[in-house]
Amino acid sequence: MHGATLLELGGVILGLGFLGMLASRVGISPIPLYLLAGLAFGAGGILPLATSEEFIEIGAEIGVILLLLSLGLEYTASELVTNLRRQAPAGVVDLVLNFTPGFGLALLLGWGPVTAVAMGGVTYATSSGITAKLLGDLGWIGNRETPVVLSLLVLEDLAMALYLPILTVLLADVGLLDGSVTVALAVATLGVVFLIALRFGGLVERIVAARDDEVLLLKVFGLTLLVAGLAQQLRVSAAVGAFLVGITLSGTVAHTAAELLRPLRDLFAAVFFVFFGLQTDPAALPAVILPALALALVTAITKIATGYWAARRARIGPMGRARAGTALVPRGEFNIVIAGLAVAAGATPELGTTAAAYVLSLAVLGPLAARAVEPLLRWWMRRRPPVSQRSGTEPAIPRPDQDQAPDSTPTG
C-alpha cells in the first residue's frame, strides 16, 4: 500500500473519529455527519480522495455485511419465520405505498416504463445498513417494535432478491427463458440458505464454536464473507446472506460473536456511510433537488405510515409505532445499486442524479427524524387536554411510552 493511500485513509478515519465525538456531545446520530464527510471527500467536493477510494469501496461492502450480521445475531431462525408470517400483510402495504411514488414520478417525467420500474425500486427499499446502525445508536435493539422493523427489512431484502434479477432482465431486454432462469436461481438460493438456517443451525454452531475469542471471530467473520459473496454471485443480496448467517447462530456463540464484532462493525459501518457520500457529485444536485426533495417528503410519510401500521398490528403502543415508522425512513445501499444498474444499462442519466439527491436527503433526514421522534411525541402528548376537557366521548389515548398487550415474540 502506498504512503499516499495510508495518509488519505488515516486522515479520513481520524476525521470520522472527531465527527463521531462531535455527534456524541451534541446528542445526535453520527450518520448524517459521515455522509456529509463523504460529499466533501468525493469528486467535486472540497478535498477529493486520490488513491484510497477503491479500498474504501471494499470497506463499505464489509460495513453493510457486518451491520446485517449483527442484526441477525439478535434473533433466531424460528423467531424470524414467526415475524415474517405476522408481517406479510405489512410487507404488501410497504411495497404498494413506497414503490408507487417513484414509479409514478418516472412516468410523469417521461422516462419510460422500464426506467419507472427502476425508480420504483429506488423509493421502495429502506436502507438496512443505516437502519441497523440507528437501532444500535439509539438503543432500540431490545425494543418491542424492533422485530417488526426487522421483519419489514427482511421482507424488503427478500423482495429485492427477486426484484434485482427481474430488473436486470428488463434492462438487458433478454429473452423470456434466460430471464426465468435468472429469477429461478435467485429463488432457489434463498430457499437453500433458509433451509440451512432453520434445519442445520445447530451443526453450523458446532462448527463455528471456539473457546478462544480470536478463533471465534475469525470463523464467524470468514463464514459471513463466504456466504455473502456466494449470495452475491448468485444474484442475491450479500446483506441477505450475512443476515441469515446471523440468525443461524444463537446462544453463547451469538452473544460472544456480537461483542467481538461490535468494534469492527462500527469501523466499517462508518466507512460505508463515507463511501455513500463519495458516490454523489455535489455539482449535479441542484438541477434535480426539487423533484428529489418532493419525492423524499412523500416517501418519508409513506414509510412512517407503513411502520406505524405494522407496529399497531403487533399491538405496540404509540411511541413504539412512531419509532418503527421513523426507523424505516432512510434509504441507502440498495437504492444506489438499483439506480446504478439502470444508468449503466442506458436509462436516462437524470435517474442517477435524482436518485442520489433523493437517497442522500433521506439518509440524512431519517436519522434526524428517528432521534427527534420521542421528544416531539412526548411534547405533543403533554399539550393534549385531558379527556374530560375534550368534546364527545373520545377514549383516552395511552401514554407515548405505554405499550398495549405484551408481545409473545422473544428477542435473541
Q: What are the tens digits of pLDDT across the range 288-339? A: 889 999 999 999 999 999 999 999 998 999 899 999 999 999 987 678 777 8
- What CA–CA distance (Å, rounded) separates 73 from 45? 38
Residue 185 in this model has a pLDDT that exceeds 80 = no
Model confidence at 176, pLDDT cuts 50, 70, 90, reads low
- What CA–CA distance (Å, rounded) separates 29 from 371? 7
42-46, 131-135, 263-267, 391-395: segment of lowest average pLDDT = 391-395
Q: What is residue 92's predicted lDDT score, i.e. its pLDDT?
A: 93
- Between 336 and 33, the more confident residue is 33
Q: Is residue 91 within 8 Å of residue 155, measured between CB atoms?
A: yes
Q: Which residue has the cell 424492533?
A: 146
Residue 399 in this model has a pLDDT that exceeds 60 = no
Look up residue 218 and give its three cell numbers.
Answer: 475469525
Residue 24 in this model has a pLDDT that exceeds 90 = no
- Burial-class residue 175 by CB neighbours within 10 Å (0-12, 13-18, 19+): exposed
Per the prediction, the chain carries an average pLDDT of 80
Q: Is residue 317 within 8 Å of residue 93, measured between CB atoms?
A: no
Look up residue 154 and give its three cell numbers.
Answer: 427482511
Q: What is residue 393's predicted lDDT score, i.e. its pLDDT?
A: 44
- What CA–CA distance (Å, rounded) separates 103 from 299? 12
Look up residue 99 and give its three cell numbers.
Answer: 414503490
What percent of the chain is predicted at pLDDT more than 90? 19
Q: What are the tens digits of pLDDT across the range 250-268? A: 778 888 998 999 899 888 8
| DSSP conformation class of 284 | G
The residues near 97 (Cβ < 8 Å, ≥ 6 apart) are: 302, 303, 305, 306
Q: Is residue 157 within 8 Å of residue 239, measured between CB atoms?
A: yes
Q: What are the tens digits of pLDDT across the range 204-222? A: 888 888 889 899 999 999 9
Q: What is residue 406's predicted lDDT score, i.e. its pLDDT?
A: 43
Domains of the chain by range and CATH? Answer: 37-42+53-382 (1.20.1530.20)
Model confidence at 108, pLDDT cuts 50, 70, 90, reads very high
Whether the pTM exceeds 0.85: the reply is no
- What CA–CA distance (Å, rounded) separates 263 from 45? 29
Model confidence at 395, pLDDT cuts 50, 70, 90, reads very low
